[in-house]
Every structure is written in structure tokens, then in C-alpha cells.
Chains A and B, each alone.
Chain A
Amino acid sequence: MTDLTELGVAAIRDGVAKGDFTAVEVAEAFNANVAAAQKALNAFIVATPEKALEAAKATDAKRAKGEPLGKMGGVPIGMKDLFATKGVQTTAASHILEGFTPEYESTVSQKLWDAGAGMLGKLNLDQFAMGSSNETSYFGNVISPWRRNDGGNAALAPGGSSGGSSAAVSARLAPAATGTDTGGSIRQPAAFTGISGIKPTYGRCSRWGIVAFASSLDQAGPMARDVRDCAIMLEAMAGFDPKDSTSLDMPVPAWEAGLSGDLTGKKVGIPREYRMDGMDADVAASWDAGIAWLKDAGAEIVDVSLPHTKYALPAYYIIAPAEASSNLARYDGVRYGLRDLPDGAGLQDMYAATRAAGFGAEVKRRILIGTYVLSAGFYDAYYTQAQKVRTLIAQDFKNAFTLCDLILAPTAPTAAFGLGEKSDDPLSMYLNDVFAVPASLAGLPAMSVPAGLNREGLPLGLQIVGKPFDEQGVLNAGLAIESRAQFSAKPEKWW
């Protein structure tokens, strides 16, 4: 019998439906992998093998009765610990929410359970999704299953913030996982670990029940082993939610059925501003390969300009912290979560002690930045100016999309870096999101697919950005790359 944990979403769904194996067998196989890897990789904050089994049993029972199994029927998945899950601790990888168990289920996770998926556990992440390496988690950093081919065993970053998700999928602890992307948090970890991930158009997936980082940017999406699996899972996650005022009131297209790697008639833009001085040679080479593959798939390649690209990162690091500083004000020790109450302390002392103890350094840094840029006298110079830049970035894409249908660029400027290499220098860490952030600011659908390995044997990702609502175009271009890149590398098991 084949190793069930080598199967992806579509293969499990179809195999369970056909009766090649049962959903319980699948869940048990993945539960075992989760347990075996936990000590070495630290991908999960909480494992929930019983939840995975419970859902699998329900799927098997449905099949026995001849009932439809759902889009994700029999597929166990990992759930980023930013999604509120009823009865299961939800922490955002923070101390301040340690032990917090919601009495409600996020819309996206509920949709996945309704589609027949089961939960393997809550995945580790950067604290409150703030980070690009998973090093800001209160529960210890995730270790990437990947290692450099230099024979050393330096621990590498799985990317972030969805680093538990990327590590789990690439290490075969889960066939797929949820991610959230505020400024690259799905795409960059996907690229670092040789998997696929898509951030849909802002508003496709409800934000209800997802611990908020930056409301105008946060967007959930799937991370999986290939493009088809992403399409299947995104269909299950997306859809209008009246509980989220920013949710898109549009039907969810049949993305899986619409998959086609034939790009005849499509124009793909190559943004000249993304080709930066001193660009990593392997990254540049993978980008060139991507261009060739898309040409081969029938696309016409055009040169486009996104002139305000260099302002995107600074604008992002004003807008996202500004929103975060306000979104995180609710963690105050009054109603739930951590409360630090020194002897004889009053309300202000309790706030100070609770938030000092409950938030990590990076979260504090961003709250301070956000508070500063919104404060009287600085608001116009920072926040208003950043919003203007955001409008210009969106305009850049709009202009480019008069010349092309899709944009191709690297996902990240480098392959995975070693843990600790950037953690002392926040700016160099922030720079890792330089290619991912513009699409976030513009609310556009964007995907990372594996393109190949660099000279160190580490995965590199290519990013496709589409017009608003054109997830199909993005997925199709991803499929065209995937079928030509023939990426089959996986981390050699050492854990």
C-alpha cells in the first residue's frame, strides 16, 4: 500500500470517494506523522488527533450511506492558530492568548469542516502573524524540514508568518493547511518550503473569527502541495459572509474545474522594478526560467512598470502596524486571556503588566510604530502619506493590467535563511517581503508556486499576481509553471 501521507488533497479526496482507502486510515497516517515530527519541527502548537479522526469517521460513515462527501471529504488539514476554533485553544502564538479557548468557530474553518475536512491540529506561526521566519512565536520557532545541501544541519526558517503551515505541508505532516497573508505570510513560507499557496483577492475569504493583525490587508488562503489542491481548498474556504463587512458578495467560481495550463492569448507582464541591483543569481535564474515556461505555455511576455514599488514596503510598515496597534488594544487582561495583576495594582498598572508580559518583542515593536504613526502631529506625515502611496501602488497595477493579464515575479528575494540570521535586524527581515507586499497593498490575488532548487538545494518560489477576482488566471499560470518546473524535491527526512 502506498504511503498515504505522500498524497495531496485531490488524491485523498478521490481515493476516499472511490474506496481505495478510508478517511480514518488517512487521518491515522497523518496523526502519526504529526506526533513523530513535533519534537524536531515544532510545527503545531496543539495537535488534535481526535478531531482528525472524528471528521474522518464522519466521512467514512457518509460514504457507507452513499451521501456526498464534500469538496474536502476525508482530507485532514492543519489549521493556522490564528483561526478561532471552538473548544480548541486559539493563541495567535502569543502568551497573552495562551489558554484562550473560543466558544465560536471562524467562518473559514467552519466552511472547511462543512466540506468534510478534519483538523490535525493548530499550527504554529509568528506571534499575531507578525514575522517572516516564525521566530516570534511564544511557543518556540518552527524548524524548516529543509536543510542546505552542504552537509551541515543548520536550522532554517520555514518562512512566516504561516511557518507552521509551510513546514507541516512540506514535511508531509498534513496534505494541506490554512494560512493567512497580510504582507506575504502565505507566499513567502510556501516559497521557502517548496509548496504552493495562494492569497485570494481581499474579501474572498471571510475574516470573521480570524485573530486580526491588519484588517485592511489580512486574507486567508490555502497552502498545499500543488496548484490543484490549492484550487480545491480555496473553493471550500471562500464565499460571502454577512458577518464580515469587507467580505466580497460574489459567487465562488469552480476554480478546480476551470484549471487549464494553456495560456494561449494571455499576456504576462514582467515588472522591471522587481529586477533589483544585486539580485540573488539563483532567484534571477528561476525568474528567467518561469518566463520561458509561461512562453512555452502560450503566453505572450510583456515588459511592464510598477513605478512606486520601492515605496510599497515603507507604506506597508506604516499601515499594518497602525491597524495592529488598534486591533491589539483588546488584549488588556480585563475579559479573557492573560492578566498580570501585581499586588495593589490599579487598572493602568494591570494594563501595563499584562501587555508587557503578554506580547513578544516584535509585537511590541509594531504596536509602538503603529501608535506613533497615528499620533497627533505625525498622522498626516505617516499614515495619510502611506495611504496615498497605497493608492498609487494600486494604480500601478491597474495601469500594468491594461497591458497584461498577469504578472510574474519572484516570491522572495532569497531562499530560506538560517534561524537567527536576521532576527537581530528587523529591517533586513522586513525586506524579505519586498516582492510580496505590493499585491497585498493592492488587495490582488497572488500565488507562489515552486520553481526549483537553488545551488544550496533549497526551494525557490515564483509569484503570479492577477487582476482583482481573477484567481482562476493566477491558478492557471501556476499550473503552467508547475507542469514545466516538474518540481518533485522534498526535504529529506531527518526528524
Chain B
Amino acid sequence: MVTAYRIQGATGEWEVVIGLEVHAQVMTQSKLFSGAATAFGAEPNTQVSLVDAAMPGMLPVPNRECIRQAVRTGLAIQAQINKWSRFDRKNYFYADLPQGYQISQLYHPLVGEGAIEVILDDKDPEGSTKTIGIERIHVEQDAGKLMHDQHPTMSYVDLNRSGVALMEIVSRPDMRSPAEAGAYVAKLRQILRYVGSCDGNMDQGSMRADVNVSVRRPGEPFGTRTETKNVNSVRFVMAVVEQEARRQVAEIEDGGTVVQETRLYDPDKNETRSMRSKEDAHDYRYFPDPDLLPLELDDAFIEECRASLPELPDAKRHRYETALGLSAYDAAQLTLEVETYQQFEEMLDAVVKASGKGERDLAKRVATRSLAVRRRKFSRLTSPATSTSPPRSTPISRPATPARSKPPLPRSWPTTPTRSPSTRAARKRCSASSSARR
């Protein structure tokens, strides 16, 4: 067993409690409620429909493929699929939110309770597993993006992301260490990529996490939590947990209390900063979206989704061990990335055909070859599990020219000189890491 993670404070040991809300962009050709395209890196405001720009009288129509991908994801984590769900409006004003509300699912999410099993020790994949509960998955619209570096006093809006479908995957507060949080995100990313519902490209903002952290004395009730928004790599998730837990312990041990608030992570300084306290929290005035009927799924649709699922990571790893006779470690390494297992299986298939020998006889040698290739590849590239240097200053590719001011989009407004430092930080962050959920 892995030993329990503890923060050693001045007054004794502390346990950290972590829950994650992961936003995963659904891999589809078009947006959640419009026909506009979703490709990454397009020129600003070139993938914006009348609906995405919230022109007067425009109405949302659900994209069935987005729903299908969310259901397939739910099935992949053995979750309850809710045959009746509904969209709600989350109301707030911001320049990257054209409707003045985000269409989301608060009261009746598409996917209910599920769970995933994470491996905490690569060397002992079978002996170090932990089950992390998933409370729900709901689908919602992404917001647009602000660009503050195009004009000295004005900001521009890029609505390409506006209306893109996201899955919000909400875990139970079941994680107890940075390693568990990191393993959870990595495993979730692995499943999403197997299923094909999200490309998992964290550096492009396709997957990002809100990290909820609290600390307590072991065995005591949960402490007050903070939420650190939009963390975009596995390594940063782990860093946020560690920094935030240490900060909270220090706060309490200094005689203070933890304030329930929203925070932001600054990777350059490796620290979290307050963005908004509970008192400043928005009242989102959620209510059912009257433009949309409840989403009703029939058994045939759900069965079609189930039948379309590929062999999932745990099952594949298990088969590699039992049917192919690979070591637990090799099986785990081969199944980490879709590209790796695909290459392994293709190679194995070819060798079996060429030699006429059985899979089991050849699997070990082919596995060694595949893993060597993988090691070479990943010493050059970064994978989320081993990511060392996600881009910091310019993670989003920016056009060289300012956003076009072709009417009716975009238009600009001046940045206010009287903003509080925390708001300024939030704005900067928004620009640097794609849209924020507020």
C-alpha cells in the first residue's frame, strides 16, 4: 500500500481532501447548440454563428453528437445515465459571454454517479489502486475569450470558443494527496482519449480542472475548501494541491481561518492567489432554459452508445496481462496512450500474420519494441503524466494581426484603470488560459 500523504504542520499532521471538476471539450465538428465549427487555432471570430454571437431572436438547438459523446463517456466510467435531463441557464454578465448566460445543467445532469479506478504506483499497477467516485457529468457551453494585448486601452473578444460543448466531470472529494489528484486527472484523460470524446490536449485548453482543496486533522470532519480555477496540466494540479494545502495549514496554525473563495494558480511563482471571496460570489440565478425541451433518451440510443465503446484501459491492461502474458508494468505502460497501444496491436498483428505463431508467444518481444519507441518519443514530447514544461506565457496560439473589427464582431471596450489587482489577475489569466468559468 501507498503510505498516507500528510502535511507536517507546526502543530501536527494534516490530511488534505481534494475534489476535482474537470472541464473537457467534447470532440465534435460543431458546437453544442449551433452548427459553427470547433477547430482549434482558427483566426478570431471565424467560427461564430448567429447563435454563438447571441443575435436577437436566435435559438439553441442541441447537437446530438455532443450528447452522444457525453453519454459514451458516462458509460465508460460505469455511471448512471439519466434518461431525462434538462438544460439550465446560468446568468452572469461578462464580455466573453454573448448571451449573458451559459447554458449548463445544474438541476438534472445528463450523467449521474460513476467511478474510476486510479493506479498510484506504476511499479505495482494491480496492488496500488484506489477508486475515485464521480458525482456527475453535465454538458454546458464554453465562453469566448478575451484578448488584452491587441490595443493599449481596449480589449477584444474572440467568440470562436463561444458555445463549444464541454463536459464538466465532477468528482467526489475522494482524493487525499497530490499524487492521487494527478493520477485521477491522468486516468480521466486516458479514458476520454480511449472513448474519443475529448482529445485531452490540456495545453490547448481542451481539458482543464478546477481544484477544490481543504485540510483537516485526520479523522475530523471536512474543513473549509477553496477552489482554484482553470488548472491546465497534471503537474499543475498536483502543485496546486500541495501549495494550497500548505497555505491552508499555515493559515490555520497562525490562528487564522480558511476562507471559502475562488483562487487562481500562478505557475511562474508556483502559488495560488485569491480571485474572489464567497461574499463577492455571483448569484447565478439558475433556471431551466425555456428555449429547450428536456432531453429524453431512449434505451436504443443508450445501447448504441454502449456498443460503440472501444475496449477501455482497465480491460485492455487486464487482457494484456492474462491473455498475452505481459507483466503488469508493461501492460500498464502499453495502455497509457491510445497511440502506443494502437501501434503495439498493429505490430503484434503483423508479426503474428507473418510468422504464423500465436500472439502470446510474440507479445513480450513486440511489447519491448513498442515501449522502446514510446520512451524515445516521450523523451522528446511531453505527456500529461510526465509533463515538465507546459508552455507558460503563450499557451494559446495568437494571430499576428489584431482581431478583425468587421461588424458586428468584435467590438471592444476600454480596460478600466481602477480594477482591483485580483480582478486584473483574473483578466490576465483569462487571456492566457482560454475562457474561465466564473
Contact = CB atoms under 8 A, between A and B. Distances in A.
Interface of A: 83-84, 90, 92, 97, 100, 102-104, 106, 207-212, 214-216, 242-246, 322-323, 325-326, 328-330, 332-336, 339, 341, 344-351, 371, 374-376, 379, 383
A97 B56 contact: yes
Nearest to B34: A243
Contacts of A242: 61
B132 to A, nearest CB: 30
Contact of A339 (B94, B291, B410, B411): B411
A334 B414 CA distance: 11
B309 interface: no
A215 B283 CA distance: 22
A345 B155 CA distance: 13
A430 to B, nearest CB: 20
A351 B93 contact: yes
A329 B57 contact: no
Nearest to B427: A347
Contacts, number: 127
A350 B413 contact: yes
Contacts of A207: 57, 59
Interface in B70-103: 89, 91, 93-95, 98-101
Contact of A84 (B57, B94, B99, B287): B57
Contact of B60 (A245, A328, A371): A245
A329 B57 CA distance: 13
Given A329-B101, A346-B419, A376 B414 contact: no
Contacts of B291: 212, 215, 245-246
Given A214-B290, A334-B98, A92 B415 contact: no
B290 A332 contact: no
B411 A335 contact: yes
A374 B88 CA distance: 12
Task: Name the residue among A208, A216, A346, A349 with the largest chain B CB count within 10 angstroms.
Answer: A346
B293 to A, nearest CB: 6
Given A90-B56, A330-B56, A330-B100, A344 B414 contact: yes
Nearest to A218: B290
Interface stretch (B47-55, B217-225, B262-270, B369-377): B47-55
Nearest to B62: A245
Contacts of A335: 53-54, 98, 157, 408-411
User: Secondary structure at chain B's binding surface: helix, strand, loop or mixed?
Assistant: loop
8 contacts: A245-B61, A245-B62, A329-B101, A334-B157, A335-B408, A335-B409, A346-B417, A349-B416
Given A246-B293, A374-B285, A379-B287, A334 B411 contact: yes
A371 B285 contact: yes
Nearest to B53: A335
B57 A347 contact: no
Contact of A346 (B50, B60, B62, B414): B414
Given A335-B54, A351-B93, A329 B99 contact: yes
A416 B61 CA distance: 40
Main secondary structure on A side of the interface with B = loop
A330 B419 contact: no
A334 B413 contact: yes
B416 A326 contact: no
A210 B55 contact: no
Contacts of A104: 50, 55
Contacts of A215: 290-291
A326 B61 contact: no
B350 interface: no
Given A214-B290, A246-B291, A346-B414, A330 B54 contact: yes
Given A334-B98, A376-B283, A100 B413 contact: no
A186 to B, nearest CB: 18
A208 B55 CA distance: 11
Contacts of B410: 335
B205 to A, nearest CB: 22
Residue among B91, B285, B292 facing the most chain A CB atoms (10 A cut-off): B285
Given A245-B291, A246-B291, A349-B416, A326 B57 contact: no
B56 A102 contact: yes
Nearest to A337: B56
Contacts of B99: 329-330
Contacts of A348: 93, 416
Nearest to A212: B57
Contacts of A323: 290
Contacts of B293: 245-246
A325 B59 CA distance: 16
A43 B58 CA distance: 26
Nearest to B101: A326
Contacts of A100: 56
Please indicate which of the listed interface residues A100, A103, A243 has the most CB atoms of chain B within 10 Å of its own CB.
A243
A102 to B, nearest CB: 7
Interface in B272-286: 283, 285-286
B11 interface: no
B418 interface: yes
The 9 closest A-B pairs by CB, nearest first: A329-B100, A346-B416, A216-B290, A374-B285, A215-B290, A330-B54, A209-B57, A336-B408, A211-B56
A330 B408 CA distance: 14
A383 B157 CA distance: 34
A348 B418 CA distance: 11
Nearest to A208: B59
Contacts of A211: 56-57
A359 B229 CA distance: 35
Contacts of B290: 214-216, 246, 323
Contacts of B61: 242-245
A346 B419 CA distance: 9
Given A245-B292, A329-B93, A346-B418, 11 more contacts: A84-B57, A102-B55, A207-B59, A208-B59, A211-B56, A212-B56, A322-B287, A328-B100, A335-B157, A344-B414, A374-B91
Given A330-B98, A332-B100, A345-B416, A92 B56 contact: yes
A420 to B, nearest CB: 30
